Amino acid sequence: PFYPIPFGRRDSLTFANLSTTLANLPSPASNVTVLISVLGPKGLTFTDLVALSGGHTIGRSNCSSFQNRLYNTTTGISMQDSTLDQSFAKNLYLICPTNTTVNTTNLDILTPNVFDNKYYVDLLKEQTLFTSDQSLYTDTRTRDIVKSFALNQSLFFQQFVLSMLKMGQLDV
């Protein structure tokens, strides 16, 4: 979706450092409870969380960001997450054959180079990389929002714009 970016931020003259970024960005291994505990105090709602996560409809990820869904993170032994589609997991094991593989893969397997609502369709099929993404569908507090965005791309686009504008005004 297209939307105008508001002018007037005075904090954009310096870049955020790594520690500041990591302190404000939840881990891809987070569940909805953790996600909202980080984003809720900033004024973001469950709907904002689900809409902003839709940005994962484009981009790529390193195996290390989702290895917890394929391997025991302590032993490195193969151990598939129960909320991960089996055929999708088989493909991920080909891309990430060990828990130390440094390969990357697309976040959205249906339309990796198109900003659309197929990320939400991936969630319904249990074919997403991150625990933080899949938990949006497994958690009853956000499941209906995921379903509505999967069924209605216009609704997703409309809410994405509102949530991006809201997030862009945080901590000005």
CATH code of the domain in which 54 resides: 1.10.420.10
- The total domain count for the chain is 1
Taking the C-alpha atoms of residue 88 and residue 4, their distance in angstroms, rounded to an integer, is 37
pLDDT band at 20 (very low <50, low <70, confident <90, very high): confident
Determine whether the annotation assigns residue 6 to a binding site: no
Q: How many CB atoms lie within 10 A of CB 58?
A: 16
Q: Are 120 and 54 in contact (CB under 8 A)?
A: yes
- The verdict on residue 8 lying in a domain is no
Is the pTM value of this prediction over 0.75? yes
In-domain check, residue 75? yes
Position 13 in a domain:
no
Report whether 4 belongs to an annotated binding site. Answer: no
Domain contains 37: yes
- Is 57 labelled as part of a ligand binding site? yes
Domain assignment of residue 10, yes or no: no
User: pLDDT for 135-167, tens place per residue?
Assistant: 999 999 999 999 999 999 999 999 999 999 998
Is 101 annotated to bind a ligand? Reply is: no
Q: Are strands 104-106 and 60-62 parallel, antiparallel or unpaired?
A: antiparallel
List the domain range (segments joined by +) for residue 162: 29-168
Whether 48 has a binding-site annotation, put simply, is no
Q: Flag whether 51 is in a domain.
A: yes
